Every structure is written in structure tokens, then in C-alpha cells.
Structure 1
Amino acid sequence: METVFHDLIEEYQTEDIMSVNHSRTIQRISSYLERYDDDYDIFPELEMKLDGKPVKPDISIYPNLPEDWDTDIIFITQPPITAIEVLSPKQAMSDITEKTNNVYFPAGVQSVWIVVPLLQTITIRTPDDERITFSGGIIKDPVTNLEIPYDHIFKKRRS
């Protein structure tokens, strides 16, 4: 009898596979952006349906939304101002660019950050095809004016 091997990775969407660097990157960006809490809501892993398409950016940035602790929203349909996508270890770059071009921008998202931990780069894209790539300095979103030091995200602690 032949032994059949099954690769467990096939059971998951590649964007759902987390790693230490992926999680660390999301945490560092989210925690730094909390300083903008007076103007923006920073939501990690928020489920949404934009134009009927289900998506879940790693981080979504909205103008402050009304707080209603009695009624929760499972799938928000309002597009964020900014969607931040951190490339997962097994995810193709084309997954993010397709989502950006076919879901985010048509739904009204105004800027998308594409964060690549392996290369330690961040590219901010806008619907008018502006692309700004950072590999150091201060990352500044041209739409929201949010700023975050590159070294805060990709800092290296001493062992």
C-alpha cells in the first residue's frame, strides 16, 4: 500500500499563516500608531466586506468611529482610510497587489502599506499609482500624515 503524504500548509490560506516576524511587525506598527488615537482608530485583523468581498488587512486605519459597546460589527463595510498588509512568509506578493488593485482601491481605500519583513521594506501605494518605498528614516503616509520611525519597526535588540 502506498503512503500518502499530506502537506498541512495546503489546509490554510497562505495569508493566514503567521510567523514571529509577521506578528512582531504588526504589533510594533500598531503600538506605535496608538499615539494617533485622538484622530484615528487603529484596528489589527479587522474583518470587513468591501464591495461584497471579504478581506482582513493586518491593520486598518479609520477616522475615529463612534463607540457603541452595546452593538458590535462583525464585518464592517466602510473602507478604512489606510490598509496595512504585512507579507506572510508563504504569501506571494501578487496576493497583496491583487487585493490592493481589485478590492482596496475600488472600495475607496486611500493608501495601502505593503510591509515586507524579509526585505525590511515598506511601500506605500495610493490609488493614483503613487508608490513610496522606505528602507530607513521616517515612514510618512501621504494621505493620513501618520509617521513612524523605520527603526521602530525593524529594530534589532541586543542579545
Structure 2
Amino acid sequence: MKTQVLDTLSDYELERGKPMPNFNHGYIQANLIVSLRQQYGKQFSVVSEVSIPTPTASVTPDVLVFNKRPVNWLEIKPELAEPPILAVEIQSPSQAMETLLEKVKALLEIGVKSVWVIQPALQTVSVFTAFAPPKTFVQGTVSDHTSGIELSLAEIFATE
């Protein structure tokens, strides 16, 4: 039975351990990276799809925010040992919330200060931290007091 499941997974899913993103997922990811770099690029390094080791497995968030660090063009390691201050997961249409919550828990346990879970269909952002209940934003500005980052939902879900 397990072989049948593996046969139906794309190379992307096998490599990254998550469903293949769709257009909306990619659009939101691009919006986030552009907005974060424009507003916080002097303070933070913003990257996408970098694997982070956890005690159980590697996790590859859609967007990661680190304290400002130099770029080393000769660096070849696929994983970073230092956790980001913020990790963002964008829910894909076939991705179960339970799977996302397992990633959130793993990321917080290794020292990520906050994790955002974006649900494109609902146009919401939920902010998870280790020491407070999650907060879901449905309008206005996402305010993450742990990282100090604020972004409007209009920027995250902008279509132009």
C-alpha cells in the first residue's frame, strides 16, 4: 500500500514532504517576500524554501525571516542550523491543517519565535508563538509582536 502512495506523489512532494503549491500559493509567497524585503530588508534576511532540521525531520517553510546575515555565495549546505525568527507556511489546497499544525509545533520547539499559517481560500493569517495562544487575522494588519513584523492583509493577498 505504501508503494502505491509513493507512486502518486510528485518529485516535489517526495523531496519537500508537502503538496505541490498552486498559482495562488506562489502568488502569496511572492507577495510576502517582496513586502517583507521592502519593509524589513535592512533589519532581516528574507528567503524562501530553506530546510531546517528538527529532531524528527527537516521542515521546509515557504518563507523564512532571519536576523540580518551576510550572503555567502559559496555556501552549499542545504539546511541551516540556526532557526529563523519567523517561518511562514501557506496552506496548499490538498494540505491538511493537522499536517501544518505538526510543522508549527516542530518549528516552535526548535526555537523559531513565531510561525504564520496562511489560508489562501479564507484570506486569513494565523500567528503562532510558543508562549501565547494563536491569533488569527481576518482583516487589517497582521501584527506579530514576537518578531516585530507587521504586514497588512491587503499586501499579502494583493492581486496587482
Whether the TM-score (by the shorter chain) exceeds 0.5 is yes
The structure-2 alpha-carbon separation of the partners of 1:98 and 1:8, relative to structure 1 and needing over 3 Å to count, comes to closer
- Greater Cα shift, 47-56 or 125-134: 47-56
- Greater Cα shift, 36-45 or 67-76: 67-76
User: Percent same amino acid at aligned positions?
Assistant: 26
1:11 aligns with 2:12: no
1:52 Cα shift? Answer: 6.1
* Structure 1 ranges of 4+ moved more than 4 A: 6-9
Query: Residue type matched to 1:54 in 2?
Result: S
Structure 1 runs not aligned, ≥5 long: 1-5
1:132 Cα shift? Answer: 1.3
Q: How does 1:1-159 map to 2 (within 5 A)?
A: 10-12=8-10, 13=13, 15-35=18-38, 36-51=40-55, 53-101=57-105, 103-156=106-159
Q: Distance in 2 between matches of 1:95 and 1:23?
A: 19
1:9 Cα shift? Answer: 8.4
Mapped contact 1:50–1:79 kept (Cα < 8 A): no
Q: Distance in 2 between matches of 1:19 and 1:9?
A: 20
Mapped contact 1:38–1:64 kept (Cα < 8 A): yes
1:95 Cα shift? Answer: 0.5
Q: Distance in 2 between matches of 1:143 and 1:51?
A: 23
Find the structure with the greater CA-based Rg. 1
Q: Distance in 1 between matches of 2:63 and 2:158?
A: 20
Q: Distance in 2 between matches of 1:33 and 1:61?
A: 9
1:152 Cα shift? Answer: 1.4
Mapped contact 2:65–2:85 kept (Cα < 8 A): yes
Q: Distance in 2 between matches of 1:7 and 1:110?
A: 34
- The 3-state SS of whatever aligns with 1:32 is helix
Q: Distance in 1 between matches of 2:23 and 2:75?
A: 33
Mapped contact 1:57–1:83 kept (Cα < 8 A): yes
Q: Distance in 1 between matches of 2:151 and 2:50?
A: 21
Query: Residue type matched to 1:86 in 2?
Result: I
Compute the RMSD of aligned alpha carbons.
2.1
1:156 Cα shift? Answer: 4.7
